[in-house]
Chain A
């Protein structure tokens, strides 16, 4: 069964750090790009970051660029998101989501076809 399971969420103070994990199973993890997407309380979806299948191509949303870092460990079938210098507006459920494709490129027809159940990050003092 194809599955993604996030963990690592919790309460963190403004300015603090947290590392989220996403464990994959049921597919060849190293063959696909993976995204992080977040959803603030009662809000819509915001794309956060993407990492290509080989870990070389990484992209970030403007609101997290320079603060968050996406990485992957294919030996562990696990995706990570390191959150640094967090702000109250980073409070959200964070989802990892598998892409159709290995990498992102204009015209590659990317889509997020498998999602985890999410992990809640609350930034509060």
Chain B
């Protein structure tokens, strides 16, 4: 199974900050990699697919980069609605696997 190691597990930030979350795969997964956002009590929401493709309706302050084993989610100017937990996920092979999550909290 491909292990996804996400860091940090939590971070504190303020509105307007630039936030970066990283995810490392245990083997080369090309660009078959997705990011999800989850708010408390809600289902996850797909933000970015295939490493860098923003889903419809996702603000352009979100961006994804990477390939191979190292991937990054960047939020350029954190907004109040962005405080949430973010999960990475590889779609290269079965079983699909998720990172442990990064909780973005108010500083």
Measured CB to CB, the residues of A under 8 A from B are: 35, 37, 44-47, 50, 59-62, 95, 97, 100, 104, 106-113, 115-118
- A85 vs B29: C-alpha distance in the bound complex, in angstroms? 34
- Cβ of B66 within 8 Å of any chain A Cβ, yes or no, is no
Measured CB to CB, the residues of B under 8 A from A are: 1, 30, 32, 34, 36, 42-46, 49-50, 55, 87, 89, 91-101
Question: Whole-angstrom distance from the CB of A70 to the nearest CB of chain B?
Answer: 13
Asked if B95 and A106 sit within 8 Å, CB to CB, the answer is: no
Which one of B45, B93, B95 lies within 8 Å of A115 (CB-CB)? Answer: B45
- A116 vs B44: C-alpha distance in the bound complex, in angstroms? 9
Q: Which residues of chain B are near A104, meaning CB under 8 Å?
A: 94
Q: Which residues of chain A are near B36, meaning CB under 8 Å?
A: 45, 112
Q: Which residues of chain B are near A97, meaning CB under 8 Å?
A: 44
Asked if B50 and A44 sit within 8 Å, CB to CB, the answer is: no
Query: Which residue on chain A has the smallest CB distance to residue B56?
Result: A113
Q: Which residues of chain B are near A112, meaning CB under 8 Å?
A: 34, 36, 44, 46, 89
Query: Which residue on chain A has the smallest CB distance to residue B45?
Result: A115
Given contacts A106-B92, A106-B93, A108-B91, 6 further A-B contacts (CB under 8 A): A44-B101, A45-B101, A100-B49, A110-B96, A113-B49, A116-B43
